[in-house]
């Protein structure tokens, strides 16, 4: 309903919408009554923008649900993240620019370390450098298994993507990663007839890989998980009539952007400053920009409260560069919360502000969890953010007469 409604009613305009996603933005205070990471940060530009904006808190998937970045992004991009479930493998493959076909099956691979009996010692082989991984991936590429094509792509450090292509493959496949050390990697099993056959082919591949990697160190084995096909997702151009661009450093975010039909822009470097430069450079080429910032989540997940505070302050310093471009609508939010206190993603609603000339600005001069709770957008499903942004951009025609 949602998409067909907007598909029929979004209209062209020369307005520009910018969605700034600070990954894992939401946080928690270190003690009851204390301040969260966002509330602790000195961020005059974000606070000023908040005073001109409507504030709220987004619920990415549903109450009590902790989400990964993939579904969290799909939700704030305006898609039902349950309906369009994406496997990790598919996202990983998208993230490295692999031209994933509708029938391909993708999985995430890790190089790992096993002992002489095949027992896992390190699930990530000491996070070996990407250059070493590349060399091992070249070895894996020599493997042939009759019945399917195998594509292997380097991701980063110990991570790679495996893509299986062939006719009649099944995608109901279990992981080989036991998610703990001290046990052996598992065989892949199939959940239906086609998948059982496919599982057999993959297990052949794994046995050959084990032989080929046996004398390598520290990575002498591999783990596969998250086998999946791409969901079919209607693109931004179709449902929102937006010519959209994504600015991101990390693969997953490029992947999910490409999935919804955004152009993924080249960022010449890997800093936030480089991302904002890319935004400036392409300002005239698109009418929607998604800009992703990873550091807030990285610090949250590693329990680095002060680091997350500093990451937000670093972000704040770049914001004037966007405002100088005079955007019509600015969304500042996150794909989920990652409180440093929990050292993980969490279920907590995520601070949001929507700036435009036409919002009912709340006049609350602070961007933070407590401030956003008092905002006029209330506690809203992340999926509702894009319709509100489109409306503020003058891009939604009236319903009925």
CB of residue 212 to its own copies, shortest distance in Å:
27
User: Quick one: CA dihedral 301, 302, 305, 306, positive or negative?
Assistant: negative
- Burial letters for 266-298: b for 16+ Cβ neighbours within 10 Å, e otherwise? ebeeeebeebbbbbeeebeebbbbbbbbbbbbb
CA 135 – CA 171 distance, rounded (Å): 28
CA 273 – CA 315 distance, rounded (Å): 9
> CA separation (Å) from 294 to 270, 301, 332?
11, 11, 14
Comparison of 85 and 99: residue with beta carbon closer to its own copies: 85
CA 381 – CA 63 distance, rounded (Å): 10
Token readout for 98 is 């692999």
Comparing C-alpha atoms, which of 326, 292, 335, 286 is closest to residue 311? 292
CB of residue 124 to its own copies, shortest distance in Å:
15
Residue-wise DSSP of 82-123:
TTT---HHHHHHHHTT----TT-EEEEEEEEEE-TTS-EEET
CB of residue 60 to its own copies, shortest distance in Å:
9
Comparing C-alpha atoms, which of 363, 354, 361, 343 is closest to residue 388? 354
Comparison of 72 and 327: residue with beta carbon closer to its own copies: 72
CA 155 – CA 133 distance, rounded (Å): 9
CB of residue 23 to its own copies, shortest distance in Å:
13
Helix residue ranges, H only, 334-401: 369-373, 385-392
User: Quick one: CA dihedral 73, 76, 79, 85, positive or negative?
Assistant: positive
CB burial of residue 304 (10 Å; 0-12, 13-18, 19+):
middle
Comparison of 114 and 348: residue with beta carbon closer to its own copies: 348
Contact positions toward its own copies, by CB under 8 A?
1-2, 5, 9, 28-29, 32-33, 36, 52, 57, 61-72, 81-82, 85-88, 91, 108, 226, 252, 341-342, 344-349, 358, 360-363, 369-370, 373-374, 376-380, 384, 386-392, 396-401
CB of residue 15 to its own copies, shortest distance in Å:
14
Comparing C-alpha atoms, which of 175, 177, 176, 148 is closest to residue 164? 148
CB of residue 180 to its own copies, shortest distance in Å:
14
Comparison of 146 and 398: residue with beta carbon closer to its own copies: 398
Comparison of 70 and 190: residue with beta carbon closer to its own copies: 70
CB of residue 145 to its own copies, shortest distance in Å:
26
CB of residue 280 to its own copies, shortest distance in Å:
26
Comparison of 175 and 275: residue with beta carbon closer to its own copies: 175
Token readout for 9 is 């009613």
CB of residue 271 to its own copies, shortest distance in Å:
25
Comparison of 220 and 369: residue with beta carbon closer to its own copies: 369
CB of residue 396 to its own copies, shortest distance in Å:
6
Comparison of 16 and 108: residue with beta carbon closer to its own copies: 108
CA 103 – CA 229 distance, rounded (Å): 7
Comparison of 98 and 276: residue with beta carbon closer to its own copies: 98
Q: Which helix (H) or strand (E) holds 228?
A: strand 221-228
Comparing C-alpha atoms, which of 221, 207, 203 is closest to residue 119? 221
Comparison of 114 and 353: residue with beta carbon closer to its own copies: 353
CB of residue 198 to its own copies, shortest distance in Å:
21
Comparison of 30 and 127: residue with beta carbon closer to its own copies: 30
Rg (CA), the chain: 22
Give 164's DSSP letter.
E
């Amino acid at each position: 309903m949602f998409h067909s409604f907007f598909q029929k009613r979004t209209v062209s305009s020369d307005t520009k919408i910018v969605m700034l996603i600070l990954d894992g933005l939401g946080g928690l205070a270190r003690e009851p009554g204390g301040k969260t990471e966002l509330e602790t940060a000195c961020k005059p530009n974000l606070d000023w923008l908040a005073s001109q904006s409507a504030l709220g808190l987004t619920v990415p998937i549903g109450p009590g649900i902790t989400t990964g970045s993939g579904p969290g992004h799909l939700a704030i991009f305006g898609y039902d993240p349950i309906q369009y479930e994406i496997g990790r493998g598919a996202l990983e493959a998208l993230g490295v620019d692999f031209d994933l076909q509708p029938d391909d099956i993708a999985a995430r691979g890790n190089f790992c370390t096993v002992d002489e009996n095949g027992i896992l010692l390190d699930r990530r082989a000491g996070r070996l450098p990407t250059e070493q991984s590349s060399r091992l991936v070249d070895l894996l590429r020599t493997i042939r298994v009759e019945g399917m094509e195998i594509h292997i792509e380097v991701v980063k450090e110990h991570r790679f993507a495996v893509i299986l292509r062939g006719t009649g493959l099944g995608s109901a496949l279990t992981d080989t990663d036991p998610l703990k050390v001290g046990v052996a990697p598992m065989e892949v099993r199939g959940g239906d007839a086609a998948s059982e056959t496919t599982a057999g082919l993959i297990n052949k591949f794994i046995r050959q890989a084990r032989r080929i990697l046996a004398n390598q160190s520290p990575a002498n084995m591999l783990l596969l998980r998250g086998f999946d096909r791409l969901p079919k997702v209607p693109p931004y151009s179709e449902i929102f009539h937006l010519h959209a661009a994504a600015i991101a450093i990390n693969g997953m975010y490029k992947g999910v952007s490409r999935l919804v039909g955004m152009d993924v822009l080249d960022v010449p470097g890997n800093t936030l400053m480089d991302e904002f430069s890319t935004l400036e450079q392409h300002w005239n080429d698109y009418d929607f920009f998604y800009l992703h910032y990873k550091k807030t989540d990285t610090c949250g997940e590693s329990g680095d409260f002060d680091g997350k505070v500093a990451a937000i302050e670093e972000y704040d310093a770049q914001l004037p560069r966007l405002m100088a471009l005079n955007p019509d609508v600015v969304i500042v939010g996150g794909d989920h919360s990652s409180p440093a206190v929990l050292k993980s993603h969490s279920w907590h609603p995520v601070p949001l502000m929507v700036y435009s000339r036409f919002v009912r600005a709340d006049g609350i001069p602070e961007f933070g969890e407590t401030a956003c709770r008092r905002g006029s957008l209330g506690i809203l499903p992340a999926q509702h953010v894009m319709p509100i942004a489109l409306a503020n951009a003058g891009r939604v025609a009236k319903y009925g007469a």
